[in-house]
Every structure is written in C-alpha cells, then in structure tokens.
Chain A
Amino acid sequence: MKNMDLHPTPTFRAVLVEQIRVVGPTLKPLGVIFGGLFGLGTILILLNRPPDPVSFELNYFTLSVMALFGVAIPLFLWRGEESPFRSGFPWTLPVEKAQHALARVGAGWVWLMVAVVVFILWQAVNTLLSGGTLGGSETWLLAAPAGTVEDRMDPATMTSVVWSQPGWLFLVPFVGATGVYLLISALFLAIRHPGRWVVGTLLGLLVVTLITSRAGFNWLDDVAGGTLNSLLGGRYGLSTFIGGGTFEASATRLPSGTEVLVWLSLPTFGRWAMAVALWSTAAIAALGLAVFRHRDGRGGQAPT
C-alpha cells in the first residue's frame, strides 16, 4: 500500500549529469591557474619565435603534465565540506553515499578528459604558431639491446632509427591521466587526511634512511630499491603506463662532446597495453575499496 506513494530516488544518470554540471564550476580555480599558464606560454612563444619550430610531441614532459591533471582534480573535488568524511550537504541528498561519491568521481573524470583535449589542442596551436608541423618523423638513437645508457657512450654502440609517432600513442595521455586520477581519487576517498599521510610517510622514510645510512646500510637501494624501481620504472611500471614507453630515454655525452638522447627501447603497443591492464585493474580496485568504505550509514562523528 505504502510503496505506491513513496517518492522515488533520482536515477544514477540524472545524478551523474548534475554532478558534471556542478563539478565544472568547482574546478574553476584550477582552470584559471592552468589557463593562465597556458596563455602565458603561448604569448611567450609568439614573442620569442624560437629558432627551431616547436613541434608537438607526446613525451616525458607533455605526458607528465597531463597525468598531473589527474592529481590536481581530486585535490579540488574532495576538499572542505565536500569530503565524504565530513557530514556535508551532498550526503543529505537521496542518493546512496557510495554511489554518490562514484558519480562525483565520474564527473571529475569527464572534466579531466576535457582538460587533456584542451592541452593537446593548445600544444597543436603552439606548434602551428611557431611554424612547426604536426606529425612527421624523427631520427632517434637507440642503444644496443640489453645495454644501458651511461654518461659517456660511443656512437658505435648505438643504432639510428626513424621514428614517427604511432596512432596508439594518442591514447596514452587519456588512459594515463585516467589511471592516475582514479588512484589519487581512491587516496582521497580512503584516507581522511591524505596530505598528512603523504607528508608523514615521506618524513618517516627520510628518518629511516638517515639512520640506516649512518649504519652504513643503504636500505632504500637494497631493500626497497628493487620493488620501488620496478613499480615505477620497470617494464610495466608507472612510467610505462603514463608514458607509453616514451620515458625510456636518457641523456648521454658523445666523445665529440655533444649531448644526445639515447633510447633503451622503443615504445611498443604490447608493452604499454600490458601496463594498462595491470595499472587500471589496480586503480579500479583501489577506487572500489575506497568508495565501499563510504556506503550509506557509516559515520560516527561526535555530536556537535
């Protein structure tokens, strides 16, 4: 009898759409900061026409910047009263809390993708303004297989390769930023004061390192080094996930004195795809767990 008269809850779709509309203005300060920086950059390019035209590359710098968007957005989304750890206005609305948090994450992601597109377009504009061309190929130096890049190297140990950006490389910023975004979102949803934890962990590591190094035992390299290295820089590490394999270059000095970039290996789709599979699984799992923590009814803060 009663159920016929009950007021319905909104659909998830309606909530997601409304969150997208709300998150936009929430991210305005971020947009202003980045917009200002971008604008400044373009003006500088216009003023100082560089000798070599700026060409748009998906490389260490550009891909890292776009991944950083994925870090910055959660910072703005979950601050203050909108934190799921506080009893703010959004959680009084007729949506299950975990679902609501997920909708907000989704809304932030939509704007993240917008930011990535805007950044790529800006780069393209800069390229054209400075007289460069989009696309085209380059000559890269590749180190011998199973070799390492050292401070000084003999050209004889390297081979020249002609490289042009493959199509799949354009997926990398979108996927990479998404993955980072999901991981950082999970951090903010899982921990009440993520800032404190990050600072605390770093300080702790610093202290431990100082102590152990006095004892002559460099634990960071021996114990943690291996894991951390493969996690971040390994074959399927974070750098592969964000960079698509474009981070695998180091500077070296030739006997002639010139500094060049030498590649350890060329980016391949297969390697990147595997990194994506691993990291996206981890990110989605982390987010799932973090969101689960906030399902309806949890919360025991002291009465005001």
Chain B
Amino acid sequence: MQVHVDASDSRPIYVQIMDEVRRGLLMGTLRPEDPLPSVRELASGLRINPRTVLQAYAALEREGVVYVRRGQGTFVSPDVEPDEQERPRMALEVARRALTEAQRSGLALDDLLEAFRELSEESPESDGPEGGKV
C-alpha cells in the first residue's frame, strides 16, 4: 500500500499518515498484526522528518489502532475492527471534505444529500468491499 502525503494539504502531515493507515485498514490492505513500515523507511520514502512519523505512530498507538513490539517495530493491533471504528470515522472525514468543497461552490448540505440520493439510485453497485447498499 502506498502512503502519500502532501505538504499543501490542510491536514498536518502526521494526520495524513494516520488517515492513510486507516484507509489501508478499511480497504483490507492492512490487517491486524500486519507490520507498519519502519520510521526510517517511511521518513526516507516520503522525504519527511522522522519525528513526524513517530508522532503519527504514537497517536495511532494511543487510539489503540497500532502497538509496538519491542525491537521489532510497529504493528496493527490484533483487536482493531476497521468496520466499527474506522469506517464511520473515515466516512465523516470524506463527508466533511465534500461539504467544504460544496460550500466553495455555493452549495448547501441539503444539495449534497440530494445529490447522494441521486447517485445511489443511479448505480446500486457502488459500494465498499463489504458490499451492500448505501
């Protein structure tokens, strides 16, 4: 799974890393007990300050998403349940971004909701890896 961060994104970089980890969990590319890239790998790969990576991993650890195995690195928690925790959180984040974008174009929340209803009627197959309707 490729991690991408963007300096011009409105989220701080460590938040972007955390979101990328969550994305991986939701998409199934990251599963419980999977190792996360080492601080060195991620920092050099993304050309970012290693402290930022540490900050992201520490925050994820506090949330219980990952844990540290001494001498071996950081791993995804065995008891993380992406669907229950991450799915709603991620959905909220995406929705928030969509709303901001909508407001930039002069649209309101109701306009968006209406648009989503239209979309769900258009293509009933547009759902996540678990399947099911929106």
* Touching chains A and B, CB distance < 8 Å: no
